[in-house]
């Protein structure tokens, strides 16, 4: 089992501190097809994942693979322009490395974004879904292994993994911008295969509204680190058995079509957070 130590996190954090030398307010993980938002940051500094000791490398189309620090709506942000996934062969602690790194750099508010498949039959591709809760179907947990007290509690309360106050802010921004929002439960699965029609029916029966291959381990670690968490899914396809056969290019295509609305939505949320 691959384990990440506090010393490894601090070593990686020092590399970023040397390049991004301003306090950070908001962390953002940009999912499949959503990376372009990082290009709109002002006074930005980009640091490739490859330049950070021990940091895993993203291998998936639509994931650039770098940190971008800068300013959006006058708030200082640190964005992960792409993430790594469990299905790429990384251990859970590697998948959540970036979140621990953000915490070490002082980030206390985290926005997790992803491209997701619809389980809820009332959804359609292009919808935005605020994540109210999640179900971990990954059969693994990033907190398994040696416990480091400086990272937080071992037994993390997940009664409110996704912060209600941030959900309220997102609702208000969506209303102000005229962007309809779905709200539901995200099911995290390992991938890399898409779910079978039977699995989609199972997920629907168990209360999931959307599913994907990320986000859950990041949210768990963020809560252990004491971060406020907001999760947003872009629904890029209908689950298996609901519509046509699935392909990753469809995921990227739908995310591309909605990227300006999505970026404006995130800008509004960041503006609201900065006004606190």
Residue 87 appears among annotated catalytic residues: yes
Q: What percent of the chain has pLDDT over 90?
A: 81
CATH assignment at residue 38: 3.40.50.1580
214 is annotated as contributing to ligand binding:
yes
Q: Where in the sequence is the domain holding 268, given as residue range(s)?
A: 6-274
Q: Is residue 264 part of a domain?
A: yes
pLDDT in tens, 194-240: 999 999 999 999 999 999 999 999 999 999 999 999 999 999 988 87
**pLDDT more than 70, % of the chain:** 95
Q: Is 247 a catalytic residue?
A: no
> pLDDT of 54-110, one tens digit each?
999 877 665 578 999 999 999 999 999 989 999 999 999 999 999 999 999 999 999
Among 13, 38, 58, 85, which one carries the catalytic annotation? 85
pTM: 0.95
- Which carries the bigger pLDDT value, residue 258 or residue 133? 133
1 part of a folded domain: no
pLDDT on residue 62: 55
Query: What pLDDT is attached to residue 254?
Result: 76
64 is in an annotated binding site: no
pLDDT of residue 20: 94
Catalytic residue (choose from 136, 141, 248, 256): 248
Report the interhelical angle of 216-224 vs 97-104 (nearest 10°): 30
Assess if residue 238 is contained within a domain.
Answer: yes
Q: How far is CA 49 from the centre of its chain?
A: 16
Pick from 50, 62, 53: which is nearest to 113 by CA? 62
Q: Based on the structure, what is the number of domains in the chain? A: 1
Average pLDDT, the chain: 92
User: 194 lies in a domain?
Assistant: yes
Distance of CA 155 to the CA centre of its chain: 22
């Amino acid at each position: 089992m691959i384990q990440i130590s506090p010393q490894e996190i601090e070593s990686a954090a020092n590399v970023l501190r040397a390049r991004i030398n301003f306090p950070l307010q908001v962390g953002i993980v940009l999912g499949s097809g959503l990376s372009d938002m990082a290009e709109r940051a002002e006074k930005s500094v980009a640091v490739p994942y490859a330049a950070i000791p021990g940091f895993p490398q993203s291998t998936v189309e639509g994931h650039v693979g770098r940190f971008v620090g800068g300013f959006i709506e006058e708030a200082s942000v640190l964005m992960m322009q792409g993430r790594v996934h469990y299905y790429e062969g990384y251990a859970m602690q590697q998948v959540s490395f970036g979140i621990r790194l953000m915490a070490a750099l002082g980030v206390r508010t985290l926005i997790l974004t992803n491209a997701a498949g619809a389980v809820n039959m009332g959804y359609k591709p292009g919808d935005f879904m605020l994540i109210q809760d999640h179900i971990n179907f990954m059969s693994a947990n990033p907190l398994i292994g040696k416990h480091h007290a400086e990272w937080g509690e071992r037994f993390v309360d997940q009664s409110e993994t996704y912060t209600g106050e941030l959900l309220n802010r997102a609702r208000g921004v969506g209303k102000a911008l005229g962007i309809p929002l779905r709200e539901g439960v995200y099911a995290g699965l390992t991938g890399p295969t898409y779910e079978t029609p039977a699995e989609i029916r199972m997920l629907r029966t168990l209360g999931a509204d959307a599913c994907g291959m990320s986000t859950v381990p990041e949210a768990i670690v963020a809560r252990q680190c004491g971060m406020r968490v907001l999760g947003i899914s872009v629904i890029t396809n209908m689950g298996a058995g609901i519509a046509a056969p699935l392909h990753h290019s469809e995921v990227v295509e739908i995310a591309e079509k909605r990227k300006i609305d999505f970026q404006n939505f995130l800008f509004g949320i960041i503006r609201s957070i900065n006004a606190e």
